[in-house]
Amino acid sequence: MESSPIENTELAPLKNIVARNQVWSRMTAKYGVSNPVPPWKTSLDGMCDALDRSVCDADIPTFKERRDEEDALAASLYADVPYPENQLVALAHTLLARGIITEAELTERLGRIRARLES
């Protein structure tokens, strides 16, 4: 598969997420959770569905563009990240690279989530 511009965009918050290696299988083992599906998976699916049906002036990818980018990113930058985490990181990558969200917004949101989890 030929490299696309989206794969050439390095995004620090996502690089940090991947480096932490906090994938669902490790978290379930650590905390004794038996649910094989991460609780955030339904939100991810809903976000993808909403994006696929979105009509606005933002640079929202079409279903095909989003899936093509997801496949390209999962096969390259996020090849070592298991599913469904690679889908989540690929979507975030696409939204960041297109300027739909900023690195500062993502970092701030991740900080709020981490603070809630650690409280």
- For the stretch 1-13, pLDDT in tens is 444 567 777 788 8
Q: The whole model's pTM is what?
A: 0.81
pLDDT of residue 1: 42
pLDDT of residue 68: 92
Closest of 4, 119, 1 to residue 61, by C-alpha? 4
- For the stretch 5-62, pLDDT in tens is 677 777 888 888 888 888 999 889 988 989 889 988 999 999 888 888 876 766 788 8
Taking a C-beta distance cutoff of 8 angstroms, is the pair 7, 1 a contact? no
**SS3 of residue 16 by DSSP:** helix
